Structure 1
């Protein structure tokens, strides 16, 4: 009796061609390649709990010593040095790309409401531009935009302003020699440690809580565009849920994916189709 042939599909191949994923195929491949790194398989399971334990200990001690342990400038320099020497260029590019993506999203909201503040200008295209407190500014922008649109009528717009949804070329310093090439999730685990040291307790709590507004922004986009698609990507985070004792690197990664999905859909609304084939460099 002959043995029946069974299919042995690749999980990664299925993810890469999933038609429900609105992202550019080149970006999807970059994300998949990053997820398949050895550091993601072997180091991340160790780095994840280690990071949470260290950050929890830092938070406990900071309740007794509530001052800034590290200047923000030092944190910026340390993180840039770390990204240049220990994180893969693909992961670096995805990280820088997120800053641009989120700025594009909040600016879309500002341009299509009666907001009281000018558009956000944080659009880094290189590692060096992540200095000057870019990480802190990135989180603060979320709060500034939400406060700025308070009282402005949120309703479907007949003529939407889709200006500046582009992603400029990003310099991830691919030619620089690296000691390690960590994936982005493992990299975030280690970056969260100096981040928690440099920020005050209130600043750290504010930064973590900013990601709980993802669902709020998706709802705002759904209303402005009169498109329920944005609501499909809500993850059930409530802005009234006050809890900073969370898995921050995991939350950041999910936040970045949600922003990518929302941005890709805006690009589709602007151009009539999802971006699918963009030339891009890989490790």
Structure 2
């Protein structure tokens, strides 16, 4: 892994990854930023991503055309998740796999944060996989379903009880913790070299192929709920300035699925930054 902190600085040839690591304008824990930038600085992202991204987007178009001929409800979600886990374990970098597993835990914690600090209570179905094999239980699909179900249940309950989210003086941060996942426990074989962004671009048309059009469209458009969840948290914390780093918006204007891979990366980064902000606030409140 790169040593961004102690790497010598050459003013005539500054390392852009070192600059991003040292920069403190974006809220990320050091160990997460280190893994993210190590993955981003890889040769896979530099040379393979520019090749795979246009191919993947072309495949999305071709699969969309082929779906016209397939039965509307045709899908093979269980097979899809077995293929995804096989690809993650066999070819994806340790940093990327670690960040993917973290995302499920962070997403579950953020949803629970909103629910615990809302004036109503709704049922939750947290997804916190302990390892890559746990993803075989259709967790990618369930992750998208959880988000939409939470937004629907929360707002139905708020409407039914005539209540609204509001800023709280005493905020419950108890669910915001560091996920119990070790980077060293991720597969580290010779073939585990594909970076996060390239892996997502490759997996996106595969995801589309094995799901119904409705499932794929919903998955792609769940990314635009980043702003929705951000507004919920900002309302509770009374910190609208934290919405500035969101990129997946506006939720009422659905975007093309062609850029779903890139937007998914932004979604993962936004989730990491929001969790970091909540962790910092929890520490400040405890102090």
TM-score of the superposed pair, with normalisation by structure 2: 0.88
- 2:94 maps to which residue? 89
Normalized per residue, the structure richer in helix is 2
- 2:179 maps to which residue? 168
State the shift of 1:106 in Å.
1.1
- 1:125 maps to which residue? 130
Task: Output the CA distance in 1 between the equivalents of 2:243 and 2:119.
Answer: 22
- 1:73 maps to which residue? 78
Deviations 1:96-130 (A, max 9, x none): 11111111111111111134422332011210111
Q: 1:208 to 1:269 in 2, by over 3 A?
A: same
- 2:51 maps to which residue? 46
My pick for the range that moved more, 44-53 or 242-251, is: 242-251
Task: Output the CA distance in 2 between the equivalents of 1:36 and 1:42.
Answer: 11
Q: Which runs of 4+ in 1 moved over 4 A?
A: none
Contact 1:116–1:148 under 8 Å retained in 2: no
Name structure 2 gaps, 5 residues minimum. Answer: 1-9
Q: 1:175 to 1:234 in 2, by over 3 A?
A: closer
Task: Output the CA distance in 2 between the equivalents of 1:6 and 1:264.
Answer: 31
* Matched residue SS, 1:170: coil
Task: Output the CA distance in 2 between the equivalents of 1:171 and 1:271.
Answer: 22
Task: Output the CA distance in 2 between the equivalents of 1:126 and 1:227.
Answer: 34
- 2:189 maps to which residue? 177
Query: Is 2:33 the counterpart of 1:28?
Result: yes
- 1:266 maps to which residue? 278
Relative contact order (alpha carbons < 8 A, sep ≥ 6): 1 or 2 greater?
1
Give the counterpart of 1:244 among 251, 256, 267.
Answer: 256
Aligned-CA RMSD value: 1.9
Q: 1:42 to 1:272 in 2, by over 3 A?
A: same
TM-score of the superposed pair, with normalisation by structure 1: 0.89
Give the counterpart of 1:216 among 219, 223, 228.
Answer: 228
Name structure 1 gaps, 5 residues minimum. Answer: 274-283
State the shift of 1:168 in Å.
2.6
- 1:134 maps to which residue? 139
- 1:255 maps to which residue? 267
Contact 2:39–2:95 under 8 Å retained in 1: yes
* Matched residue SS, 1:120: coil
Contact 1:71–1:198 under 8 Å retained in 2: yes
Q: 1:234 to 1:176 in 2, by over 3 A?
A: closer
